[in-house]
Structure 1
Amino acid sequence: MNADAAIFAGLFDNAETTTRKLNTGRLIYVHLARGKLTVNGHDLKEGDGALLEDETELRLTNGHKAEVLVFDLVKM
C-alpha cells in the first residue's frame, strides 16, 4: 500500500489526556478497540469509531481502560 497516512496508538485511563493539532485537508479516524473514551466531546465505547473532518484539534479525554488507534489520512 502506498498512501499518505500515519497511525498512532494509545492507552488512556483516568486523568490521562492528549491534544494534537490537526492539519487541514486531512481526515482523522479514531477507533476505540477497548474501554471508554471521549473524543472531541463525544463519548465512545468499545468498538466505536469517529471520523473527524475539518477539525483543528484532536482531544482524547476521560479514558477508562481505553485502547485507541488514530489514523491520520489524506483527504481525497
Structure 2
Amino acid sequence: MLHPAIESHSPLVFEIVDSAIGRSIGGCSYYVSPPNGKVYQEFPPNHREAESRMVERFIGIMKMLVVFHTRREGKI
C-alpha cells in the first residue's frame, strides 16, 4: 500500500495510444492477485516460477483498428 488513506486499485488498466492518429492500439490489465484465483502459500522456488507468476497477472487487451474514410467537400 503506497498511501494509508487510498485503497489499492485492481486491476490496473494500461492503454497505449498512438498520438499521431489519436487511436488506441492496445494495452493490458495487471491484477494484484492472479485473476484465475490461485493462492500461493509459498515463495517461488526459482526465477522461472517467479516470472511465470508475474506474467499470469497480465492480460492483454487487443483493439481492432478501424480506418474511417470521410467524405471531404469536393472529394468523394
Largest Rg, 1 or 2: 2
- Fold match by TM threshold 0.5: no
Q: Which has the higher strand share?
A: 1
TM-score by length of 1: 0.22
Bigger relative contact order (CA 8 A; separation at least 6): 1
